[in-house]
Structure 1
């Protein structure tokens, strides 16, 4: 038979074990709550980061659209004095019937326009006498030439232009054949 002391000892051990298990469960519950809280914080951070990114994407898209819409604004502003001078020249020529003055005025305006475009990085290509290059030239005709060897540009039909470092319009040329 089990003595009362032994029985009490077994009950005390069982109670102690049960108390220890309850403490472990409480600790695990506490750890689970901490992890759930951390997961919620991370979820909120993710949602804020996603919202920030969406706002950034919308803002940069709008800036890009505005830039495309108003990209030529500076150049147009620089060309307005040229337009004003054309208007003055036409008005003066019409009123005075002085076509020599009109020709001089148009020449001055052309130089003003050329200077404005050069300031923006536009350069006319020099084609005559150069070897034909399909990246810069568009051959519209081959001609026989005794003074130029084959593949050399002998005549420029339409000027070509380079804007900064890109071909804006290839030169239309006649090439010796």
Structure 2
């Protein structure tokens, strides 16, 4: 073998060794590079998962707030509707409270003794009294029944107690001031005398 052939053989061997070395380096780099994208993918995946959880929590919080606001609005609507209904139902309460003392005075005036001289006047007063009672009844204002009824603290106000064997216990013996209801609401309880 001549020198040139030796150099060629060495060079070819060296070249083959270099190629193998380069392939090994490339494989090692590929392994390193393949680990890096995997790590990067895991990092990106974790970041996306965290972002997703964060956004899901925000959406749940906003949904919860929306549901609460809707519930509050529904409650507000129901409450205002109820107030409007009550206002319409009891619209004459204030006027009735103003007129009840006048009605009491009419009743006291009608208890006076009737004579030939005042007979016409008393009849006129009775007519006005009847008209007033009718007007109040047309608005749903009714007198609370008392005498010989059982005492009920929701409708009656006991101002006196007596012991009378003619009446059972807790029975109203006498009415001292009339009580009135507006539809289903007591606007003035009756003042009564109750048997023990």
TM bucket normalised to smaller: 0.5 to 0.7
In structure 2, relative to structure 1, the CA distance for the partners of 1:29 and 1:157 (3 Å cut) is: closer
Asked if 1:141 is matched to 2:148, the reply is no
Please give the per-residue CA displacement for 1:109-162, whole angstroms capped at 9, x wherever unaligned.
224224224xx3x4423222234444543333345757x235443321212234
Query: 2:90, 2:182 within 8 Å by CA — same for their partners in 1?
Result: no
Q: Whole-Å Cα distance in 2 between the matches of residues 176 and 48 of structure 1?
A: 59
Return the alpha-carbon distance in structure 2 between the equivalents of residues 16 and 162 of structure 1: 89
For each residue in 1:50-100, what CA deviation from the matched residue of structure 2 results, as whole angstroms up to 9, or x when unmatched? Answer: 6x4598389659948x74995577437x98xx9xxxxxxxxxxxxxxx857
The answer for the alignment partner of 1:153 in structure 2 is 172
- Please say if 1:171 is aligned against 2:193: no
Equivalent residue for 1:9, pick from 16, 27, 41 = 27
Structure 2 stretches of 5 or more lacking a match?
1-19, 100-119
1:67-146 correspondence runs (5 A): 67=84, 71=88, 74-75=91-92, 99=121, 102-103=124-125, 105-117=127-139, 120=140, 122-142=141-161
* Structure 1 portions without partners, runs of 5+: 83-97
C-alpha distance in 2 between matches for 1:74 and 1:132: 29
CA distance in 2, matches of 1:73, 1:175: 30
Q: Distance in 1 between matches of 2:85 and 2:151?
A: 35
- Residue from 44, 47, 52 that aligns with 1:29: 47
TM-score under structure 2 length normalisation: 0.50
Larger radius of gyration between Structure 1 and Structure 2: 2
Partner Cα separation in structure 2 for residue 137 and residue 69 of structure 1: 23
Alpha carbons of 1:153 and 1:42: their partners in 2 closer, same or farther (altered >3 Å)?
closer
Q: Which residue of 1 is the match for residue 38 of structure 2?
A: 20
Name the CA shift for 1:150/1:108 in 2 (closer, same or farther; >3 Å): closer
Matched residues in 2 for 1:132 and 1:69: separation?
28
